[in-house]
Amino acid sequence: MLATPRIKLTPVAPTLGNPDQVRSEETTIILRKNAWDWGDTDGYTIVVASATPGSARDKMEVLNEVGTHLYDIKNRISVHRTMQGKRDQHEFFEMQNEKTQKGTTDHESVMTGWWKDTSGTRRFAIKGNWYKGEAVVWLSESNHPIGTILTADSQEGYQRVGGETKGEEDYQVRVAPGVDLQVFAGICIAAETILAKAAK
């Protein structure tokens, strides 16, 4: 299989999210799907997420590396499947499924959303085949790529941690400099939840 060409991720300005949670260089974070444990390729934990008891994946709590609560991700009933990030009872990001074919992962998807921080509300879109490692996260107003999805076989840049890929590491995400990693991880968790439900 030919690798998808690597998209260049340039710094985002102004910073998207909390300046204390951004890095000056591109970062690759690893999804350990079963535990919702996100860390970078150097072994540092970004976030840990877990489903609220009795809610399956319709509500998740997101924590930092020492177990401090950061925010919640919850399902919102709407025409399109929608997931929201809530902090202190206020929504600060939302994304919804615009186009996903049910019952298969062999397709392209389009998801749109917004992310509210001190700079205002920024709109973004995720387009492409997530499960084949061909999806890209774009800022809508500038068409600036801020993240790409990687899989082991379909895109350049996938990093095999420890010389091999563990079974639970289904894919990785490259994140542009200047993007809050803790929130970006939550947006990707919400996206994967939307797609997993749509594919059933």
What pLDDT score was predicted for residue 58?
A: 73
Q: How many CB atoms lie within 10 A of CB 41?
A: 13
Name the strand (E) or helix (H) holding 184: helix 181-198
> Which residues have C-beta within 8 Å of that of residue 158, sequence separation ≥ 6?
133, 150, 151, 152, 172
Q: Which domains does the chain have, with CATH numbers?
A: 27-199 (2.40.160.200)
What pLDDT score was predicted for residue 126?
A: 94
Q: Any bridge partners for residue 147, and if so which?
A: 137, 175
What pLDDT score was predicted for residue 1?
A: 43
Residue type, 76: R
Under-70 pLDDT residues of the chain: 1-5, 32-36, 52-57, 78-80, 99-107, 152-170, 199-200
What pLDDT score was predicted for residue 108?
A: 76
What pLDDT score was predicted for residue 41?
A: 87
What DSSP line would sit under 56-87, residue for residue?
Answer: TTSEEEEE-TTS-EEEEEEEE-SSS-EEEEEE
Return the SS3 of 123. strand
Read off the pTM: 0.85
What pLDDT score was predicted for residue 50?
A: 81
